[in-house]
Amino acid sequence: MPFDDVPTLLAAVASGSVSLTVAEAGGPHHTAGVRAVLQLREAFPAHALVAWCDLRRIDTAQLLELARAGIQDIVREEQDELPHIFSRILATARQRSVASQIVTMLEDLVPRRIRPMLEHGLEHAGEHIDRDEFAAVFGMTRRTLHNRFLRAGLPSPRPFLTWCRLLVASALLEQPGHTLDSVAGVLDFPDGGSLGQYLRRYTGRNVTQLRDGGILRTTVDALRAQLAELAEALRTGTAAPDDPTPDAPRSLPLPGVRG
């Protein structure tokens, strides 16, 4: 539905009745659209935002302006099958938004040189990821990637990718309209019960308890606690050299993380 002013749009997003905002770009309302995008991004960092435009009538400066404002994708006016396209873009934009939100929350935990791996793991949290393929994306072997994570005080690649999936799941569960089953479908878990089981194993809390403390914040706190345990295990020499992650999370392999 169209909105004539930003406050009304912000209220609709806050109520959960709007999950994707499409801003007109390149036309007479371009400047107003950019301002609205900036306000939306500030108020709702995880909200999905895309631009609607005729690429033949928009210049590079306007495209860069949209990107800096927080647009995650572009829909061309001449495209067909718009319902399918918007469904795909909504899923992609939402995941990019929550990935950006999570990276910001983990800035003090994840060294800058590791952040591209974190971003990749978060943005591809719904895909089947092979650890060798994951390492190859960054031009290294699995062993080299493992050693880099170890030096950074992080879990090895398998549990690292597991945490990425659970962090994205936690962020999505905080958004209106999402349930365990719907998020399980997005992230390729067998079902909502399975997702709840993994969240409980990794965070020590069931979904009701997670909601009480804020699901994403509580999951991040659980990751912080595990990294503190890992640091202590490495300091005392009690971590296994080939998999330095504490045993409890490691004992339950996550669907979608192979190798």
Query: Would you list the domain boundaries of the chain?
Result: 6-95, 110-258
CATH class of the domain at 110-258 = mainly alpha
What does the alpha-carbon distance between residue 226 and residue 201 come to, in Å, rounded to a whole number? 12
Query: What are the CB-based long-range contacts (under 8 Å, 24+) for 14-17?
Result: 14/43, 14/44, 15/176, 16/175, 16/176, 16/177
Q: What is the pTM of this model?
A: 0.65
Produce one character per residue of 139-175: b if its CB has 16 or more CB atoms within 10 Å, e if not: eeebeebbebbbeebbbbbbbbbbbbbbbbbbbbbbb
Arch. (CATH architecture) of 6-95: 3-Layer(aba) Sandwich (3.40)
Q: Kindly indicate the confidence band of residue 12, based on its pLDDT and cuts at 50, 70 and 90.
A: confident
Tell me, yes or no, if the two domains 6-95 and 110-258 fold the same way: no
Model pLDDT for residues 23-61, shown as the tens digit of each residue: 888 778 788 888 888 998 888 876 778 888 777 778 888
141-191 tens-digit pLDDT: 999 999 999 888 898 899 999 999 999 999 989 877 788 998 998 888 999
Reported as half-sphere exposure (CB side, CA atoms, 13 A), residue 24 has a value of 9
